[in-house]
Amino acid sequence: MTKSIGGHVASHATSSIDVVALLRSDAEAGLDEAEAQRRLAEGSRNELPDAPLRGPIARAWAQFNNPLILVLIAAGAITLALQDYVDSAVIFGVVLINAAIGFIQEGKAESALAAVRSMLANVADVVRDRRRREIPAADLVVGDVVLLEAGDRVPADLRLIAVRNLLVDESALTGESVAAEKADLAVNDDAPLGDRVGMAYSGTLVTSGTARGVVVATGRNTEVGRIGALVGGAGTLATPLTRALDQFARRITVVILIVSVAAFGFATLVDGRDVMESFLAVVGLAVAAIPEGLPAIITIILAIGTRVLARNRAIIRRLPAVETLGSVSVICTDKTGTLTRNEMTVVRLLLHDADVEVSGAGYEPVGDFTVGDRQLNDEQKRAVTALCRAAMLCNDASVHEGSDGIWQAVGDPMEAALVTVGRKFGIDHDDVIEECPRSDEIPFDPSLRLMVTAHEVSADAPRVLFVKGAPEEVLRMCANEDEDRWHGVVSEAAGRGERVLAFAVCESSAVDGPLQHETLPDGWQLLGMVSLMDPPRPEAIDSIAVCRTAGIRVIMITGDHAATAAAIGAQLGLGASSALTGNDIQSMDDAALRRALESHDVIARANPEDKMRLVSVLQESGSYVAMTGDGVNDAPALKSADIGVAMGGRGTDAARDASDLVLTDDNFATITQAVREGRVVFENVRKSLRFVLPTNGGQGGLILLALLIGLTLPVTVAQILWVNMVTTVTLALALAFEPGEKGVMQQAPRPKGEPLVTRGMLAQITYVSVIIIMVTLAAFSWELSRGSTIEVARTAAVNALVAAELLYLFNVRRLRTSSFHISTFTGNRAALIAAGILVILQLAFTYAPPMQVLFSTAPLDLASWMVIAALAIGMFVIVGLEKQILLNKKSRG
């Protein structure tokens, strides 16, 4: 427990040395692995219970909390009171089946979301057996030594040991929004949480600086665990789309109820029909016309989309993002690691008087150093040694040979490449680190583009400082350098797409105290520069081309040199001869920036604040913006973008928390995939509307017509309830499983603000409703005209209605291909299964004796089936022809 280690002392009120000792740990070496495993086996994992999903009872209750269902229950109760047992049973059957389906589907959707979320497990940087490694945060034990850096979510309660400019956002715990400054200090036993400067608490967020800390409490014993705070709540299934649809459904319900009451009044008062019969007919009308299955169908479509995305290494953090993804019109993406492989290799060392070429690939420390075709002379060897040592010391990464013989990077790939180049030259990484232990540092800051480390060689020797960073920043610090020559050298390398890093050293006895960027001493000497290659990902090139045909702009934003960015941009196929730089952007007002963006796809030397401005300018000009980010400073831009995309691999926890989508493979191609899936989801929603609305409209219209014109009902109330039930659970659901249609990525993005149901859709919905009514009435009257009984005529009418809906489903499946093609009936197994089930249900409805009793149906002969088939096919042809005409018009226009 935080309050008491060993039962009596509070860790925030104890010196860190004592805490480490009490926990039988070691601030430098960490725990050893065996001890950590033992502690893990004895204690519990470092986990908090997930936010509970909505309980089954709440979920079940929600199924009945729906105006339509309440209307149905009322109708069921009244029919029961009137001793009309068959209709009453059917109505209650509908209620129960509907509720059961909603219940199961929503449960599935919720657990799918929860599963996807659990794929975003946290990791922690720990020191064990003197080695730094990444482990799942859940495996942390008390006594573990954890390393913190900017952007990390603190993985457990920690007593801080080595604190460097650490700022922690503790708002999750204390509500205090100003980040708290931390130090290795003990405070009073009774100090409130917010004042315990020597502690970092689980769930809080490191906004800058670095620190080491020893774990004093994990899981439920942490402060968050004890206040019962819930992290990573399951979220709700409600999205703007489902809410819009809910509202839409409610509105339709009200309209239909009003129409029903009016129809009831008309039938009984004006037409003088039987009250009981009219009442039942009106109930049937309402039930048939209300698209009660729609919200459930949309939820399923979103959940399926989320699952497909997760399988493709894109994890949705907020459900609404699935649909928003489909309307993205601009993707602003990082370069390094997203568009490039992030497998860096040092290809050249740039010394004062020579360019040294380095051979070898990957992180394996094997390669040659040559100048031209010659070996290095002694002078050059000395310079390379000094440069490589600096590159190893001003560095947080390491490389290791894996058991498979492949060398692996631990830490930042670029820094690992710097370790490799030194090892290629024969310098031992561990020796160098041991000789010159690091005493202080300024961690790499993307807006300074620098990293500084201080090293204590011995007690009386002066402190040695190294800087590594962007050439222009480092050159500025160094006196007596021929800046023009160096800029020429850098531009040349950058023009080939290489990234150049400069190194300088400063021996200083003058300064003491913690390193600060503002108070760095003078007297820096340039050691040379290192040029690294990071080739573009081949799949990124393809994806950018896909985006282009999909009407999506890709803008590359990087902290790299303008020439490097432009060269890589050209290799990727971005239409850019030159790059816009962060400085350019800062000197422009919004209007100028908007104009500049029209002709620039590459932004270089950009700061996180620049990203923020790009998002707002692009949004103002009507774009839906997806923005990637990985650093703690990227969080605001990620939040304000329509889709914030974080990197699961190299991104910080802060960036992940601010994002809607997390890429587990950090790959640009995955974003394109995700946008495609988002479009498929949206199209499936629209296809469902195109199917559900006219079929419900037709069913309701049929009864309304009969009531108003005074016809004998062509379909009884029980029968219309049956049709409504079976088509909702079979046909309408099938569209949720529709795979993406050819050409989804050959359309322009959906315009901002386009309504869910367009005019064209509305027209289709109306005329299809009318045709469905006509088909059903035609079958009914044909049967009557050839002298069939009313039972047979109604059975034929019901089957014609269902057959018409079935074929219409296949018409709706494809928006962009002709219906008169075999592919209309292939490619969606769910649709075929649904069709099969529906046929079986209809045969049972027609021929099974119990059904005949329940629904007053009668067997049909072959002639009836032929007429039904002809009518349904006729409708299929008409709707198909209409689509054909629209398609032809589009391809000509």
Start-to-end CA distance of the chain, whole Å, equals 72
Q: Which does residue 469 bind out of ligand ADP, Mg ion, none, counting CB within 5 to 8 angstroms by kind?
A: ligand ADP
Residue 336 CB, nearest approach to Mg ion (Å): 5
Q: Which does residue 144 bind out of ligand ADP, Mg ion, none, counting CB within 5 to 8 angstroms by kind?
A: none
- Supply 259's token pair: 């129409």
Tell me how many degrees the CA angle 465-469-474 measures, rounded to the nearest 5: 70
> Is-contact 193 202, C-beta < 8 A?
no
- Supply 479's token pair: 């006196």
In the residue annotation, 334 being an active-site residue is answered as yes
Q: Which stretch binds ligand ADP (CB under 6 A): 466-474, 548-556, 717-725, 800-808?
A: 466-474
**Which of residues 68 and 565 has its CB atom nearest to Mg ion in the complex?**
565
Residues from 525 through 584 that contact ligand ADP (CB under 6 A):
558-561
Q: How far apart, in whole angstroms, are the C-alpha atoms of residue 731 and residue 837?
A: 10
336 sits near ligand ADP (criterion: CB under 6 A): yes
Q: Which does residue 558 bind out of ligand ADP, Mg ion, none, counting CB within 5 to 8 angstroms by kind?
A: ligand ADP
Q: Which stretch binds Mg ion (CB under 5 A): 147-155, 328-336, 594-602, 671-679?
A: 328-336
Q: Which does residue 334 bind out of ligand ADP, Mg ion, none, counting CB within 5 to 8 angstroms by kind?
A: ligand ADP
Q: Which stretch binds ligand ADP (CB under 6 A): 328-336, 671-679, 840-848, 867-875?
A: 328-336
**Which of residues 444 and 524 has its CB atom nearest to ligand ADP in the complex?**
444
611 sits near ligand ADP (criterion: CB under 6 A): no
846 sits near ligand ADP (criterion: CB under 6 A): no
Q: Which stretch binds ligand ADP (CB under 6 A): 85-93, 96-104, 171-179, 464-472?
A: 464-472
Residue number of the CB atom closest to Mg ion:
336
Q: Which of 105, 336, 673, 776 binds Mg ion (CB under 5 A)?
A: 336
Q: How far apart, in whole angstroms, are the C-alpha atoms of residue 847 and residue 839?
A: 12
14 sits near Mg ion (criterion: CB under 5 A): no
At 793, the amino acid letter reads: A
Residue 528 CB, nearest approach to ligand ADP (Å): 14
CB burial string 14-25: b at 16+ within 10 A, e below: bebeebbebbeb
Q: Which stretch binds Mg ion (CB under 5 A): 24-32, 92-100, 332-340, 865-873?
A: 332-340
> Is-contact 705 273, C-beta < 8 A?
no
> Is-contact 510 373, C-beta < 8 A?
no
Q: Which stretch binds Mg ion (CB under 5 A): 47-55, 335-343, 595-603, 880-888?
A: 335-343
Residue 387 CB, nearest approach to ligand ADP (Å): 14
Q: How far apart, in whole angstroms, are the C-alpha atoms of residue 311 and residue 724?
A: 34
Residue 608 CB, nearest approach to Mg ion (Å): 11
**Which of residues 494 and 685 has its CB atom nearest to ligand ADP in the complex?**
494
**Which of residues 336 and 581 has its CB atom nearest to Mg ion in the complex?**
336
Q: Which does residue 560 bind out of ligand ADP, Mg ion, none, counting CB within 5 to 8 angstroms by kind?
A: ligand ADP
6 burial class (0-12, 13-18, 19+ CB within 10 angstroms)? Answer: exposed
Q: How far apart, in whole angstroms, are the C-alpha atoms of residue 419 and residue 860?
A: 82
At 139, the amino acid letter reads: D
Catalytic residue among 334, 584, 601, 634: 334
Dihedrals phi, psi of 881, to nearest 5 degrees: -65, -40
Listed in sequence order, the DSSP H helices in 710-813 are 717-727, 733-734, 759-785, 790-813
| Nearest Cα residue to 681 out of 239, 305, 241 | 305
Q: Coil, strand or helix: which one is 31?
A: strand
Q: Which does residue 481 bind out of ligand ADP, Mg ion, none, counting CB within 5 to 8 angstroms by kind?
A: none
499 sits near ligand ADP (criterion: CB under 6 A): yes
| Nearest Cα residue to 286 out of 256, 261, 248, 243 | 256
Other CB atoms within 10 A of residue 785 CB:
9
> Is-contact 440 425, C-beta < 8 A?
no
468 sits near ligand ADP (criterion: CB under 6 A): yes
Q: Which does residue 666 bind out of Mg ion, ligand ADP, none, counting CB within 5 to 8 angstroms by kind?
A: none
**Which of residues 336 and 828 has its CB atom nearest to Mg ion in the complex?**
336
196 sits near ligand ADP (criterion: CB under 6 A): no
Q: Which of 125, 292, 334, 783 binds ligand ADP (CB under 6 A)?
A: 334
| Nearest Cα residue to 154 out of 92, 201, 223, 96 | 201
Q: How far is CA 563 from CA 352, 600, 626, 773, in A?
A: 21, 14, 25, 67
Residues from 399 through 458 that contact ligand ADP (CB under 6 A):
412, 414-415, 444, 446, 449-451
Active site residue ranges: 334
Q: Which residues of the chain form contacts with ligand ADP (CB under 6 A)?
A: 334-336, 412, 414-415, 444, 446, 449-451, 468-470, 499, 501, 558-561
Q: Which residues of the chain form contacts with Mg ion (CB under 5 A)?
A: 336
